[in-house]
Amino acid sequence: MSLEDKITQLPPSPGVYLMRDAAGTIIYIGKARSLRQRVRSYFNASIDSRWHVRFLMARVADIEVMLTDTEKEALLLENTLIKQHHPRYNLDLKDDKTYFSLRLDPGEQFPRFSIVRKIPRDNARYFGPYASASAAREVLRQITRMFPLRHYPLKSCLARKRPCLYHQIGQCSAPCHKLITVDDYMELVRGAMLFLEGKGRELVAQFKWNMQEAAQGERYEEAARWRNLLRSIELTVEKQKMVLRGGDSDVIGYYRDADRLELALLFIRAGTLSGSRLFSLTWELGEAEGISAFLSQYYTEGTFIPDEILLPLEIEDGAALADLLSDAKGRKVNILHPLRGTKRELVELAGKNAVAALRERDEKQASIETLLGELQQRLHLTRLPRRIECYDISTIQGRFSVGSGVSFHNGAADKKQYRHYRIRQVEGQDDYAMLREVFSRRFREDAIRKDGLPDLVVVDGGIGQLNATQEIIGELELAGRFDLVSLAKSRVARDVESADISKSDERVFLPGRKNPVVLRQNSRPLLLLAAIRDEAHRFAIEYHRTLRSREGIASDIEQIPGIGAKRRTVLLKHFGSLQRLKEAAMEEIAAVDGMNRTVAESVYGWLHANTD
């Protein structure tokens, strides 16, 4: 059956359509309320003559459809298939990281906050989202300064003989040692939740009443505690600006430039603008379809779902998506396209953020291109060094020898390409042989197929290290497949006849050239090379210390009666360091796989034999 015949026979029912190219590869997956109407629109130039749609349709050789009972089911099926097949022309957020949130379970004994990524339906309370783990930790630090809730798991707290350090500095009320009543502790919990919900003004009024009541009852220490809480909260509340009335909202704005779609997401919590997030996406179809695809992927990955989502335009499946998100949230979610008023102004503000983000991204990219071009010119490289790798060796008299490889792409660290190498073939102190082992493993054919080749490899050292590395590359038949330079650190020198101390310039050595290239000190090209070298050094030392630490805990654990190699490995993997094992409660040790209470008591007793 021809493609045209298939299209004419499509049913007017909801479902999902899969577009395939001549090779049978799925290149686009879409959903529709009416498959017949939706798919026909792609082939009707008078209805949809956008260049990106025509570009897609020129590659379509076959269309497959899957029927569903409802539009909401089609939305779910589309999302599942996109994650399974990753089609060329669909939006793909697989590399995106979910934002962090603060979790608190009010049903837990003496509830505490923890930082999480996913938001399951578990009856706990979630606050956020926050842009990074560090941002979430900063909010958590502020909260515990105002509301001294416990920091550690309750088992760990109860196992302590005395309150922890946080209690001593006033950031924990020590409920585990009964230094606060259950009612007073839950009052702190309720206050912390109100504060994070943006109800700071309500909280201030309540705490003022508590302070006055305590003062009138001549409970002056309690009144002072409420007074101190009030001071901390009022300082923060003064900085907040109400922008909407009501619950939580997410506001989306966009800017389109050819196949680039920049999205800006503003977070409004309890009427207060609390943060924002930017997404730079590749999208070759319509804006409404792109925003719809973004919403269905972003909010179905365990992300916090607000009460309403404000959009810059109408989307075809808005009602179905709202039903889907309402089911996930457990209460009604509205998806709106405001045309006037404060909500429209917020959508326009999000759009301005998207425009500014794309412009800033372009300016940053232009700056990077200039930097890499200057580096290529000054070092006489055969190609633009978009991907730069650097390798380092760390060892102590040939023990715990490791190699590290770091990768920078377009001037920024690409940590997914970082690699550790445990040296296994070299005995003793032979950095040259260790580097050969690292290079032979990094540049194996299978590794090259998986990770590709860099444009430039940087070696730490002078002309000797460069020549040795060049010889290794020749042995591996890699000569000419990437550029190679070495970077010699600056050295401090002091004239014996003078009190002056001088520092030599950092120098770059090139293959086949005796004299080094001296880049202008503190110039961007030199700073980039130095940053890459220092990162490789840091990464190697970090791994080296980890191995030494593991060896230390392993040798100590082996002295404990009843602990063999298997249990030693389990404890090592679970706790990571001897210090963490010593800090663990006996119940925590007993809960580790392969342990039991008798052995745990032996371990705990041995570790604490010479401590309080």
Whether residues 419 and 483 share a domain: the answer is yes
Strands (E) in 435-538, as ranges, are: 456-460, 483-488, 492-494, 501-503, 507-509
Domain-embedded: residue 547 = no
Whether residues 512 and 423 share a domain: the answer is yes
Strands (E) in 153-236, as ranges, are: none
Asked, as a colleague might, if the bond just before 11 is cis with ω within 30 of 0, I would say no
The DSSP bridge partners found for residue 262 are 255, 280
Residue type, position 417, single letter: Q
The domain spanning residue 59 has which CATH number?
Answer: 3.40.1440.10
**Nearest Cα to Cα of residue 147 among 194, 105, 202, 201:** 194
pLDDT given at position 95 = 44
Which positions ≥6 away from 483 have C-beta within 8 Å?
Answer: 379, 381, 382, 383, 385, 455, 456, 457
Whether residues 444 and 510 share a domain: the answer is yes
Could you tell me the residue range of the domain that residue 319 belongs to? 249-359
CB 306 within 8 A of CB 280: no
Q: How far apart are CA 137 and CA 595, in angstroms?
A: 33
Q: How far apart are CA 527 and CA 415, in angstroms?
A: 19
Domain-embedded: residue 334 = yes
pLDDT given at position 311 = 95
Whether residues 519 and 567 share a domain: the answer is no
CB 160 within 8 A of CB 176: yes
Domain-embedded: residue 544 = no
**Nearest Cα to Cα of residue 321 among 84, 594, 75, 39:** 75
User: From edge to edge, which strands make up the β-sheet containing 26-32?
Assistant: 26-32, 15-20, 62-67
Task: Give me the half-sphere count of Cα atoms (radius 13 Å) on the Cβ side of residue 280.
Answer: 9
Domain-embedded: residue 217 = no
Q: Is 209 left (phi over 0), alpha (psi -120 to 50) or beta?
A: alpha
Whether residues 518 and 591 share a domain: the answer is no
The domain spanning residue 446 has which CATH number?
Answer: 3.30.420.340
Residues in the chain: 612
CB 127 within 8 A of CB 143: no
Whether residues 515 and 562 share a domain: the answer is no
Q: How far apart are CA 429 and CA 416, in angstroms?
A: 30
Give the 3-state secondary structure of residue 539.
helix
In total, how many domains does the chain have?
A: 4
Helices vs. strands in the chain: H and E counts, helices first: 21, 20
Q: Show which of 55, 85, 115 is a domain's final residue.
A: 85
Whether residues 413 and 507 share a domain: the answer is yes
Mean pLDDT, 10 residues at a time, over the chain (612 residues)? 77 90 90 87 61 74 88 87 86 62 86 83 76 73 81 81 82 86 87 74 74 84 74 57 71 90 86 80 85 87 84 90 88 92 91 91 89 93 94 71 88 89 76 84 88 91 86 88 87 55 75 86 89 89 68 58 72 72 79 82 73 46
Q: Is 512 left (phi over 0), alpha (psi -120 to 50) or beta?
A: left
The domain spanning residue 564 has which CATH number?
Answer: 1.10.150.20
Whether residues 411 and 484 share a domain: the answer is yes
The torsion defined by the Cα of 200, 206, 211 and 212, in degrees rounded to 10, comes to 130
**Nearest Cα to Cα of residue 119 among 97, 100, 95, 147:** 100
Record the tokens describing residue 393, joined without a space: 């060796």
Domain-embedded: residue 103 = no
Whether residues 328 and 420 share a domain: the answer is no
What are the backbone dihedrals phi and psi of residue 456, each rounded to the nearest 5 degrees, phi first?
-145, 135
Domain-embedded: residue 276 = yes
Q: How far apart are CA 459 and CA 465, in angstroms?
A: 7
CB 385 within 8 A of CB 372: yes
Domain-embedded: residue 108 = no
What are the backbone dihedrals phi and psi of residue 593, each rounded to the nearest 5 degrees, phi first?
-55, 135
Whether residues 264 and 347 share a domain: the answer is yes
pLDDT given at position 305 = 87
Whether residues 416 and 528 share a domain: the answer is yes
Domain-embedded: residue 104 = no
The torsion defined by the Cα of 205, 207, 213 and 219, in degrees rounded to 10, comes to -160
Whether residues 440 and 521 share a domain: the answer is yes
Q: Show which of 56, 85, 114 is a domain's final residue.
A: 85
The torsion defined by the Cα of 97, 103, 108 and 111, in degrees rounded to 10, comes to 140
Q: How far apart are CA 385 and CA 366, in angstroms?
A: 15
How many whole angstroms from its chain centre is CA 606? 40
**Nearest Cα to Cα of residue 272 among 234, 308, 239, 300:** 239
Q: Show which of 68, 85, 102 is a domain's final residue.
A: 85
